[in-house]
Amino acid sequence: MTRPVFLVGARGCGKTTTGNALARALGFRFTDTDRWLLETTQMTVADMVEQDGWPGFRRRESEALRQVTAPGTVVATGGGIVLAEGNRHFMRDNGQVIYLQAPAEILAGRLTAFPQEDQRPTLTGRPIADEMADVLAARDALYQQAAHHIIDANRPPEQVVEAILEALHYARAS
């Protein structure tokens, strides 16, 4: 299988960490839609949102998804990529979609413990634990709708990668 593998899920679910490890295990390239946007626009997500608003950022995000999709690639997507129905269909039609599912309190804990300098701006202005609960309530059904496989991301990255390889019917080379 050289079809792309798309990782979807909320911020903090481990798409980038898992994606890098999964790409190594599969012998695929790894790309991240947020990183691609940062490199091609020379702007952070916060800058893009400030300049174009969330709708403008979401348009850029959809374009990034199409630009980075290629055979033999693991793609870590932005948490809100599933908000556009066209993106959900595009990923399902062009690859395997893996939803890295984790509870809101775990996601909030990870985002608090490992803040990133270029982390996306808050969507609501509320405390991160409340925001993550709201985000999951709004998006969980969309992540599930997009996904071919739902993987429990509430465990160490190597175990998450093993579960994905199993779901994709790959055996890790020893």
Neighbours of 173 (CB within 10 A): 7
Reduce the DSSP state of residue 106 to 3 states and report it.
Answer: helix
Closest CA to 11 of 81, 58, 59: 81
CATH number, domain 5-167, options 3.40.50.300, 3.30.360.10, 3.10.620.30, 3.40.1350.10: 3.40.50.300
Whole-model pTM? 0.88
- On the question of pLDDT at 147 being above 70, the answer is yes
Residue 111 is predicted with a pLDDT of 75
Sheet of strand 73-76: strand arrangement: 29-32, 73-76, 5-8, 96-101, 149-152
Q: Please provide the average confidence, as pLDDT, over all residues in the chain.
A: 88
Phi and psi at residue 162, in whole multiples of 5°? -60, -45
Beta bridge partners of 29: 73
8 Å CB contact between 139 and 12: no
